[in-house]
Homo-oligomer: A and B are copies of this chain.
């Protein structure tokens, strides 16, 4: 195994294989991983982090591929993290990776990584942030973080990016619930992709209406862009908007965002560490005994937690 110091040196020198190895190493959270992440941290903070989220089928991957091409044309090294919390396969979403790697295969200026597995004790948000740091330390800028889905996890992962684009598509369904409050609140801009489809105008009106309900708040009203990613339509304008927003790094809203990201990372890590050491500190078979007792309705979960924490017999 390569010593951590050497791995970090190779990584900051732009060695793609070192970066891939470092991200895999970080996932296991062993002592070497933590040493690596600590020593990489001073090299971070330069990359712009661009979050893209939206429902499955909205064409986020095609859009990300177009943005990668646009950034490459401008001479930038681009990192892509595709987060798929609902997949339990390690190493990436089914089929997804293989298809995506082909397009930019052989281009060392593009680094694509899928994050799919989540341990039973949490951690997808943590491993995504670790991967962002490592790409950042390796000189990738921007780092595009794409989440598949519209759940709370996906929102938590992208909401602290420097800029968040929410990608929607016409004809997602009739019910207004398809456009969710949580998503409206995190979006810096909306993209109506596949905008050549029937229903684009209707989706835009619905969005305008939803945004008017939410009210002004403390963020400027997010613009609504239209794209047809497979043809490249509208991608230049999207790229321009994303650049304009990430360039304002001294902007108070960006400072707030980076602080929110720091807070979320700290609390995530603290939570992981606490539950891990609590479970590891239990006697052999103790967790199974507690679980069986709750499942058998002999102990309620609240009393079980009290006893696990304080060893109380009568909580």
Contact = CB atoms under 8 A, between A and B. Distances in A.
A180 B57 CA distance: 11
Contacts of A173: 55-59, 169
A275 B57 CA distance: 36
Given A151-B152, A294-B266, A302 B37 contact: yes
A94 B153 contact: no
Contact of A274 (B44, B84, B274): B274
Interface residues of A, number: 84
Interface of A: 34, 37-38, 41-42, 44-45, 55-59, 61, 84-89, 93-96, 118, 120-122, 124, 129, 148-155, 169, 171-178, 180-183, 185, 213, 255, 258-259, 261-263, 265-267, 269-271, 273-275, 278-279, 287, 290-292, 294-295, 297, 300-305, 308-309
A129 B301 CA distance: 10
Contacts of A88: 181-182, 185
Nearest to A148: B177
A86 B302 contact: no
Given A262-B294, A265-B301, A266-B304, A86 B152 contact: yes
Contacts of A34: 302
A181 B93 contact: yes
Nearest to A62: B175
Contacts of A309: 270, 273-274
Given A56-B150, A275-B270, A275-B271, A291 B38 contact: no
In the complex, which of the residues A57, A259, A279 has the most CB atoms of chain B within 10 Å of its own CB atom? A57
B176 A86 contact: no
The A interface, classified by DSSP as helix, strand, loop or mixed, is helix
Contacts of A182: 85-88
B86 A151 contact: yes
A170 B45 CA distance: 43
B41 A297 contact: yes
21 contacts: A37-B302, A41-B297, A44-B297, A56-B177, A57-B174, A57-B175, A61-B175, A61-B177, A85-B152, A87-B182, A93-B181, A94-B177, A129-B301, A148-B177, A150-B151, A171-B171, A259-B295, A261-B295, A263-B287, A266-B291, A270-B305
A302 B38 contact: yes
A154 B182 CA distance: 14
Contacts of A304: 266, 269
A303 B40 CA distance: 12
B275 A180 contact: no
B152 A300 contact: no
A252 to B, nearest CB: 13
A120 B267 CA distance: 10
Contacts of A96: 177
A129 B278 CA distance: 22
Contacts of A153: 85, 151-153
A291 B278 contact: no
A88 B217 CA distance: 14
